Amino acid sequence: MNLIFLGPPGAGKGTQAKMVTGRYGIPQISTGDILRQALKDKTPMGVKAKEFMDAGKLVPDDVVIGIINDRLREGDCKAGFILDGFPRTVAQAEALSGLLGKMGRQIDAVIDLAVEERFLVERLTGRRTCKNCGMGYHITFSPASKTGVCDKCGGELFQRDDDNEATVIKRFKVYKEQSELLGAHYSAGGRYRKIDGAAPMEQVFKRIVEIIDA
Ligand code: AMP
């Protein structure tokens, strides 16, 4: 099962992708996570990407297409994958279909998580992640039992540099200008499903499972 998750920043793509990984065993491929890891490792790509990420802008297409090209060829993608945060532009979508075509593969479902922007600022600015295991929390909606400490592994929780209000607003603008169009791009193909991403997490997941199992 080869999946794409679309939706604005904070729509829950990463959370749902992790749940799908847990149930179906296919890997979550988040270009944002790969770029943040590259930055942590201080690779030239990570250092270059930081300027764009901190400004709430998209990293150039050639960089993220290169990441996806390498990642999809890894052994764990054989049974399927979930693309979380890629593609974000029509050029990336076209490059992806070219890459998959060369590999004799195709996308089985494009799931677009629709959430109104007014709900998203609070979701994003309150988001916290474990440095150690990647578990996600929210200071209001799903807080850790002990502030700043992961319930699962005891790791330290951190806030992403780009989850501050000013950068979040820039990220929405970029989404509207460059990524929202992907809905129309994919809806022509018949494998596109738009679902209510504002529903409770478990309900959203149930809907995703129905689409995957259909
Ligand atoms: P995310 O973790 O998906 O919210 O991505 C965080 C940031 O990484 C974005 O605001 C972009 O700067 C960059 N990024 C992630 N994925 C892409 C992509 N497919 N195209 C361009 N930039 C990306």
**In this structure, are residues 4 and 29 in contact, taking their beta carbons and an 8 Å threshold?**
no
Is 160 marked active-site? yes
**What is the CATH architecture of 2-26+79-115+170-213?**
3-Layer(aba) Sandwich (3.40)
Most ligand 1 atoms within 8 A of CB, residue of 13, 28, 58 to mutate = 58
In the chain, what are the domain boundaries?
2-26+79-115+170-213
Specify the amino acid at residue 74. E
When the pLDDT of each residue in the chain is averaged and rounded to a whole number, the result is 96
Instruction: Give dist(CA 49, CA 57) in Å, integer.
Output: 10
Would you say residue 1 has pLDDT above 90?
A: yes
**189 confidence band (pLDDT: 50, 70, 90):** confident
- CA-closest candidate to residue 102, choices 59, 60, 64, 68: 68
Catalytic residue among 160, 170, 193, 194: 160
pTM of the model: 0.94
Mean pLDDT of all residues in 63-74 = 97
CB contact set of 186 (below 8 Å; sequence gap of 6+): 4, 6, 93, 110, 112, 192
Is 152 marked active-site? no
Nearest atom in ligand 1 to 57's CA: 12
CA of 9 to the centre of ligand 1 (A): 9
Q: Is the CB of 88 under 6 A from ligand 1?
A: yes
User: Could you tell me how many residues make up the chain?
Assistant: 214
**190 confidence band (pLDDT: 50, 70, 90):** confident
